[in-house]
Amino acid sequence: MLKEENYALENVYNANETGLNWKALPRKTLTSRCELAAPGPKISKDRITDLACANATGIHRLPMLVIGKSKKPRCFKHVNMSAMPIVYTSQKNAWMDSTIFMKWFTETFIPSVKTHQLKNGKREKTLLLLDNAPTHPSLDILNEKDEFIKIMFFPPNVTSLLQPMDQGVIESFKRYYRKELLRKLLLEKEEEGEESLIRNHKKIDLKDASYMIRAAWDSVKKQNLRKAWNKVLCMG
């Protein structure tokens, strides 16, 4: 289809959601003894949903969409959200839904792709591949939003095998995020000892996480983004 309809790989994208426990510490290294012994949940359960999106050549990755539970987190009170390194929105369970996806598609994906393409002088045919999750609007609704952009769903039951973001990209992003979290804890501790680490850990908020998410996403190598497309592009 890419050949028949003349899609350039630079204009082929994949987007996929993933959950992120943004304050969770590694259980085998820096998990606090106090946290393991505390009543209730043993490990931090602060969870958000991230949406990662990039093209098949790895040269264009969109800012990460972050879905939290709070509509107006305190840490964002005096923050210019348009200057943040991520796109933030909220849902009571921090899950993706069709309204959030449509807003991301129309207000982030389409403008970002348009800006990227106009750097080369013109709009071009663009393909966005998605899994067929029920949180995604129908193809009819999505495909009427922009004349240059076409959306296709992967067939059921094969997305984990073919979807590029599932071929090590999200896994790499989470490893880099964990590195950023540990670096922040270790570099900002005021004094030696476990209590200092615990205090610093409690101080981390969604604003901190947003910058760590951006740093982790930027750390995913272009080569990894390109290789993630090998399975779906070699199907023929």
pLDDT tens digit sequence for 93-106: 999 999 999 999 99
Whether 39 shows a pLDDT value over 70: the answer reads no
Q: What is the pLDDT of residue 224?
A: 96
Residue whose tokens read 């509509």: 71
Nearest 5°: the CA angle 156, 13, 231 is 55
The SS3 assignment for 86 reads: coil
Average pLDDT rounded to a whole number, residues 29-34: 55
d(CA 59, CA 204): 31
Asked if 218 contacts 63 with a C-beta cutoff of 8 angstroms, the reply is no
Confidence of residue 159 (pLDDT cuts 50, 70, 90): confident
Is 50 exceeded by the pLDDT of residue 174? yes
Average pLDDT score, the chain: 89
Instruction: Please give the pLDDT value at position 188.
Output: 72
Residue where the block lists tokens 């943004």? 22
Q: Give the confidence band of 3 by pLDDT, cuts at 50, 70, 90.
A: confident
Burial (CB count within 10 angstroms: exposed 0-12, middle 13-18, buried 19+), residue 10: middle
74, pLDDT greater than 80: yes
How many of the other CB atoms lie within 10 Å of CB of 68? Answer: 20
How do 12-21 and 47-55 pair as beta strands?
antiparallel
Rounded-to-integer distance, Cα 119 and Cα 10, Å: 13
Closest CA to 12 of 136, 130, 129, 108: 129
| pLDDT at position 38 | 46
Q: What integer pLDDT is reported at residue 89 of this predicted model?
A: 97
The CATH code of domain 9-233 reads 3.30.420
Q: How far apart are CA 21 and CA 43, in angstroms?
A: 10
**The overall pTM is greater than 0.75:** yes
> Which is more confident, 217 or 31?
217
Tell me what pLDDT residue 219 has: 98
Bridge partner list, 20: 48
Q: Do strands 47-55 and 87-90 pair parallel, antiparallel, or not at all (unpaired)?
A: unpaired
Stretch 195-220: mean pLDDT: 91
Residue 64 has pLDDT above 90, yes or no: yes
Determine contact, residues 46/19, Cβ cutoff 8 Å.
Answer: no
In the numeric block, which tokens belong to residue 222? 């272009």
Kindly report, residue by residue over 109-139, the tens digit of the pLDDT: 999 999 999 998 999 999 999 999 999 999 9
At 160 the pLDDT is 81
